[in-house]
């Protein structure tokens, strides 16, 4: 006779507060109440599915009815504890309100409240999905909650507390259970597999934990499914195949092509993913998730990454993107994900989202922008012959060197993140083959060996000789091309606002109707 298999979600269901994963705020409050003997007569546990509402309620019922006494650590060995774990304790009355909504059903349950427990210390009523009760049923329950017998405890659970009458809410101690973080779910899954002696890959567990969406029960159910799908193993490739996600490397390659800002290559690669029949909504989710990690790496240099994306990979990608591009791409991915059902088909919507990222990136305007004029006249780019006259000390760079960099940048063969790096720098001077630059401190994350090499190649090609870069700290570094564009944009907006305010029609509206323009909505005409 074959042994009956027990699902992981049932086999590893916590039996004590010490085994509970997450929900520390609830555990602490209940443990304190049990230790001090101040246990309320009615508790309400709220939260999404699979976060531990009924599990905590059953542990609490065991704490109240353990034969060794009321306390936060039930023995787990007495008849009461064993019967509660097995679901056959006569004084633990579990009610599924979703299937017993009629007032007669509720009256039948509550008619016996007045009678003493048969075996235990307390008669415990565990009503799941309590929000499904009818109005009449709530009235019957409310009457009992108002004057509960001393031997009765009510444990209510719901995923939708907004549907509960205020009169019921006001008579319960309410605990809102939180979604369990993916890292905590993955750690618990790993601990279970180690005890079960089942092979796994951390990246596979990370994918399962993400798919669980904060629910430990869903995570365990998916893990059961993965073990069966993988032939007794929980690997990354098997997890991606089961969940319908594309390989992690494909998401990285998408990010790399976004960093290069090559729209044609980006579309070609996106179309090549069709052979994997991907879930494009999930692909956008994974891309947004990677962009989040990149953004964190750009501002937190010692960010450790995780099982899906290691620190060296994140460091390389963080140096390939301008911070503002990462924010734009992330927001565009979210909007594209939301609008995907409205697209002619998912693939079209996915490709259009990628193209929108490139089309609206700040560098798109920068690469085709004319040279910024110098404040005192026309800018002149330093050439190989004129460069020595532009040499400046790091302590006091001349305005001509800073402004000349604007014109030089327009002539360099640079694209994407390398142009972003150059646009956030100012030229301090040139001494022979050494080009001295100062970088805006807020943009130091752009400095990577790969981008610096591209800038060196572009400068060497322009000057007709091999050059090398030297980044120095300047007391007065001058205005970077990026700062100049921002200043010009602000000046244009201010000029538009003044012109709008001076318009006779606008003034007439002010005088006749007391109207006032909204400044942030005024834009210069292009």
113: pLDDT strictly greater than 60? yes
Find how far residue 81's CA is from the centre of its chain: 40
C-alpha distances in angstroms, 284 versus 177, 332, 340? 29, 10, 10
pLDDT digits (tens, 9 = 90+) for 207-263: 899 888 889 999 999 999 999 988 898 998 888 888 866 677 888 889 988 988 888
C-alpha distances in angstroms, 153 versus 62, 103, 131, 253, 323? 12, 20, 18, 57, 55
Q: How far apart are CA 110 and CA 117, in angstroms?
A: 13
Among the residue ranges 132-136, 330-334, 368-372, the one predicted with the least confidence is 368-372
Q: What is the predicted pLDDT for the residue at 362?
A: 65
Residue 435 contacts residue 467 (beta carbons within 8 Å): yes
500: pLDDT strictly greater than 70? yes
Q: Is the pTM of this model over 0.75?
A: no
pLDDT digits (tens, 9 = 90+) for 450-493: 888 889 999 998 888 899 899 888 777 788 888 888 888 788 88
Would you place residue 503 in the very low, low, confident or very high pLDDT band (cuts 50, 70, 90)? confident
Q: What is the DSSP string of 226-238?
A: HHHHTTSEE-HHH
Largest CA distance in the chain: 103
377: pLDDT strictly greater than 50? no
Average confidence (pLDDT) over 424-439: 89
Q: What is the mean pLDDT of the chain?
A: 83
375: pLDDT strictly greater than 50? no
Q: How far apart are CA 317 and CA 171, in angstroms?
A: 54
pLDDT digits (tens, 9 = 90+) for 51-68: 999 999 999 999 999 999
In the chain, % of residues over pLDDT 90: 32
Which of 53, 41, 64, 61 is closest to 97 using CA atoms?
53
510: pLDDT strictly greater than 60? yes
Q: What is the predicted pLDDT for the residue at 43?
A: 94
């Amino acid at each position: 006779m074959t042994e009956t298999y027990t699902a992981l979600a049932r086999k590893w269901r916590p039996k004590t507060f010490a085994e509970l994963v997450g929900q520390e705020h609830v555990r602490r409050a209940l443990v304190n109440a049990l230790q001090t003997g101040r246990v309320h007569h009615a508790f309400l546990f709220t939260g999404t599915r699979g976060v531990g509402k009924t599990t905590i309620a059953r542990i609490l019922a065991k704490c109240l009815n353990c034969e060794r006494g009321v306390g936060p650590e039930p023995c787990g060995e007495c008849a009461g504890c064993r019967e509660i774990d097995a679901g056959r304790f006569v004084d633990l009355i579990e009610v599924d309100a979703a299937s017993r909504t009629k007032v007669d059903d509720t009256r039948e349950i509550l008619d016996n409240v007045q009678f003493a427990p048969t075996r235990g210390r307390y008669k415990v009523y565990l009503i799941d999905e309590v929000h499904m009760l009818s109005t009449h049923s709530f009235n019957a329950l409310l009457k009992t909650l108002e004057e509960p017998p001393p031997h009765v405890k009510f444990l209510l659970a719901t995923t939708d507390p907004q549907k509960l009458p205020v009169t019921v809410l006001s008579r319960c101690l309410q605990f809102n259970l939180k979604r369990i973080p993916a890292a905590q779910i993955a750690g618990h899954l790993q601990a279970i597999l180690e005890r079960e002696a089942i092979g796994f890959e951390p990246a596979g567990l990370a994918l399962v934990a993400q798919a669980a969406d904060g629910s430990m029960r869903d995570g365990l159910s998916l893990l059961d499914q993965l073990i069966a799908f993988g032939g007794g193993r929980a690997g990354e490739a098997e997890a991606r195949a089961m969940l319908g996600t594309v390989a992690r490397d494909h998401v990285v390659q998408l990010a790399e092509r976004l960093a290069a800002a090559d729209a044609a290559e980006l579309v070609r690669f996106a179309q090549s993913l069709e052979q994997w029949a991907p879930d494009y909504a999930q692909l956008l989710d994974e891309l947004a998730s990677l962009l989040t990690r990149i953004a964190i790496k750009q501002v937190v240099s010692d960010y450790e990454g995780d099982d899906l994306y290691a620190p060296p990979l994140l460091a390389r990608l963080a140096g390939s993107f301008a911070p503002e591009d990462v924010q734009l791409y992330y927001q565009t991915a979210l909007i594209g994900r939301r609008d995907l059902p409205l697209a002619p088909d998912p693939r079209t919507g996915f490709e259009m989202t990628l193209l929108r990222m490139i089309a609206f990136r700040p560098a798109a305007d920068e690469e085709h922008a004319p040279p910024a004029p110098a404040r005192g006249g026309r800018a002149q780019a330093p050439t190989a012959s004129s460069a020595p006259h532009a040499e400046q000390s790091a302590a006091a760079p001349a305005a001509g060197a800073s402004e000349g960099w604007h014109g030089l940048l327009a002539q360099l063969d640079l694209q994407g993140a390398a142009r972003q790096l150059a646009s956030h720098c100012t030229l301090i001077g040139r001494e022979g083959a050494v080009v001295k630059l100062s970088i805006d401190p807020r943009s130091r994350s752009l400095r990577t060996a790969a981008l610096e090499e591209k800038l060196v190649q572009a400068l060497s090609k322009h000057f007709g000789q091999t050059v090398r870069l030297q980044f120095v700290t300047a007391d007065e570094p001058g205005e970077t091309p990026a700062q100049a564009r921002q200043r010009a944009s602000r000046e244009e907006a201010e000029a538009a606002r003044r012109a709008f305010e001076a318009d006779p029609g606008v003034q007439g509206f002010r005088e006749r109707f007391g109207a006032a323009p909204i400044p942030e909505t005024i834009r210069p005409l292009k």
